[in-house]
Amino acid sequence: MRRFGNGSRFVVTAVFAAVAAGIGGGAARAHVALAAGETQPGSYYRGALKIPHGCDGEATRSIRVQIPEGVIGVKPMPKPGWTLTIQKGAYAQAYESHGKPVTEGVKEITWSGGELADEFYDEFVFTGFVTETLAAGQQVYFPTVQACTKGEARWTEIPAKGQSAHDLKSPAPSLRMVSDTRLMAQAEAAPAGSGSDTYTIGNLTIASPWSRATPGGAKIAGGYLKITNSGSTSDRLVSAATSAAGKVEIHEMSMTNGVMQMRPLNDGLVVKPGETVELKPGGFHMMFMDLTQPFKQGDAVKATLQFENAGKIDVLFNVGGLGATTGSSSEHKHH
């Protein structure tokens, strides 16, 4: 009964919201927006501005879009029947692209001189690189002015803190930064495997460390292994480090509200006496972050594990293929 009550209240709220939007005028119509509203920092992005209609029935004659800071190397796609102009400018900071500093680039694109009837739909496309100065969870905006035969529509509103884009009449097209944890979570769903390398330090045995090749542009990779404690006291994997990654975290994965999520274990991972703890896809794992270069199949990534009692030990993570479920099939480059 309670559930039902909540459900109907939600429906009522939704109806009110729709009515309110109607009063606002025009807001009930589709917005100018980006076809792909999410991307990963540190990756190339293809932006397609969707133009669902003109201005109050008038045909669209030009589209002008501003490029936000942090999106560099932008190139618009020419469009038959439209004149393309770009405005370049200095970036607020220098970025690195292919090992070279970049300080300026396209800040504004205009497609003009064409005619897109109110009854028709079209897309205006550009590509660019979304730098890692943008963080997951962050949103950037591409204010767009749509000029029509008569009048214009300014898709330039940016939500204030605590405000949602849904509250705005003419929101600027937005792009949300996502981390590739979702990508990882998918990979994590693969079954566990095992390698063949074994390391011993004190009372601990570390078996078959392995990882997976990283898909293009991915900056994180999982690390898997088994730790067996044959001693009589507890130990703890405190941290790990490698020159192959900016940092390494120890993660736990869990289902929360039907969504696979991972969180760092800031106190490390305890291995009780007589126990084996397995770091595997879908469970505890190490997360190599800010990779200095992609992990390729056949690589052996050296990392130092730090245990509270047993101390430090260097191990090699054998990198399997993209869909690898084990490191054992990969070449062993050591010895």
Nearer to Cu ion, 21 or 183 (CB): 183
Q: Which is nearer to Cu ion, 226 or 251 (CB)?
A: 251
Q: Which is nearer to Cu ion, 72 or 262 (CB)?
A: 262
Q: Which is nearer to Cu ion, 64 or 251 (CB)?
A: 251
Distance, in Å, from the CA atom of 231 to the CA atom of 204, rounded to the nearest integer, reads 7
Smallest distance, Å, CB 36 to Cu ion?
Answer: 24
Query: In whole angstroms, what is the distance from residue 317 CA to residue 208 CA?
Result: 8
Closest separation in Å from C-beta 191 to Cu ion: 17
Minimum CB separation from Cu ion for residue 63, in Å?
Answer: 40
First and final C-alpha spacing in the chain: 66
Nearer to Cu ion, 131 or 181 (CB): 181
**Which residue intervals of the chain are DSSP H helices?**
2-24, 181-188
What lies within 8 Å, CB to CB, of 194 at 6+ separation is: 207, 208, 226, 326, 327, 328
CB 130 within 8 A of CB 117: no
Residue ranges binding Cu ion (CB under 5 A): 251, 262, 287
Residues 276/205, Cβ–Cβ less than 8 Å? no
Reduce the secondary structure of 117-163 to three states and give it as a string.
CCCCCEEEEEEEEECCCCCCCCEEECCEEEEECCCEEEECECCCCCC
Nearer to Cu ion, 76 or 223 (CB): 223
Least gap, CB of 252 to Cu ion (angstroms) = 8
**Smallest separation, CB 249 to Cu ion (Å):** 7
What count of Cα atoms within 13 Å lies in the side-chain half-sphere of residue 200?
4
Nearer to Cu ion, 240 or 262 (CB): 262
Q: 262 and 275 in contact (C-beta within 8 Å)?
A: no
Q: Which of 239, 250, 242 is nearest to 308 (CA)?
A: 239
Residue nearest to Cu ion (CB): 251
Min separation Cβ 327 and Cu ion, Å: 17
Nearer to Cu ion, 71 or 221 (CB): 221
The minimum distance between CB 263 and Cu ion, in angstroms, equals: 8
Nearest-angstrom CA–CA distance, 315 and 248: 14
Q: Is the dihedral of CA 319, 324, 328, 331 positive or negative?
A: negative
Smallest distance, Cu ion to C-beta of residue 139, A: 23
